[in-house]
Amino acid sequence: MKTKTITKGVFNPISVTVLIVMLGISGGLYFLSVINIPILVSFIILSVFIASSINIANQWEKAVLLRMGNFKGLKGPGLFIIIPIIDRIDNYVDQRVRVTDFKADQTLTKDTVPVNVDAVVYWTVWDVEKAALEVQDYEKAISYIAQTGLRDMIGKHELGDLLQERDKIAEDLQKILDKDTNPWGITCQTVGIKDIIIPPALADAMSKEAQAERERRARVILGTAETEIAEKFGLASQQYIDNPVALHLRGMNMLFEGLKEKGSMVIVPSSALDSMNLGAMGGLVSLAKSNEQ
């Protein structure tokens, strides 16, 4: 059973303190001639024995305890005591959320486009016993199984789907990884696709295609607007034909708007004046301008 987890030395700050105190006491008793050398040696051995039995696990850790090579149980968090020589702490398993980066290089999509995909998986150990006993190195196993799953997902999707549905693909991959790692006492909480890199030539072609599509849409919108404007003008002209007074008022309004600014000059074709019956009004306006000057 070998896992890539947190390993610690035999001694910790508390055990070292206990060892120093006991060695100091035994040394003092020896120098005071209270004990002899055999008893001093016994005190030293006992001090090392007691100090090595004291262990500490952090709040987010569980210690895997083996007794004579067999799984005995889990210890921690906090201070706990073991029996030296026959007991051994194999490792300390971190139960916090862990992050593993993985990627798929030059993987072909369903439409045979080579892509590089970078992703990340967030996982945690929920059953320390299974993680310690069922898999040798679960961190490496998660990395390998994530890479394999990502390559498989890329091969099942075309490039367009891969770019547009990356969230759904990440969700599907998370479900696959969670199913595969659950027997190990591990759950994969989230998978995120960080980046999808396509060949430069293909990226340039896709950029040109997108630009052409935007120009086509712009032309369609412009043509639709021109058609609607022409239809509105047609309806307006029919209204003016049926109602000459409305045409006359419209013409007066146009001239008024054009002459509002001081010093402005409006050139109106005579045919337009005749059609709007504004010939007399045009002469009056010119006369008014001359008088002002």
Nearest Cα to 98, choosing from 183, 179, 180, 5?
5
pLDDT of residue 214: 75
**Does 3 map to a domain?**
no
Do residues 124 and 36 make contact, with C-beta atoms less than 8 angstroms apart? no
Tell me which of 198, 228, 261 is where a domain ends: 198
Whether 278 has a pLDDT exceeding 70, the answer reads no
- Chain segment 241-268, per-residue pLDDT in tens: 777 766 666 666 766 666 666 556 666 6
pLDDT score for 251: 67
Q: For the whole model, what pTM was predicted? A: 0.63
> Which residues constitute the domain of residue 252?
243-293
The confidence score (pLDDT) of residue 252 equals: 66
Q: Give the pLDDT confidence of 47-86 residue by residue, as tens digits.
A: 888 888 989 999 999 999 999 989 999 998 989 999 988 9
Position 117 in a domain: yes
Q: 121 has which bridge partners?
A: 100, 191
193 is a domain residue: yes
Beta strands in 68-221 (DSSP E): 70-75, 78-81, 87-94, 98-108, 114-125, 186-197
Asked whether the beta carbons of 129 and 155 are under 8 A apart, the reply is no
Report the alpha-carbon distance of residue 56 to residue 79 in Å, rounded: 5
* Residue 1 covered by a domain: no
Mean pLDDT of the chain: 81
Query: For residue 280, which of 256, 260, 252, 261 has the smallest C-alpha distance?
Result: 252
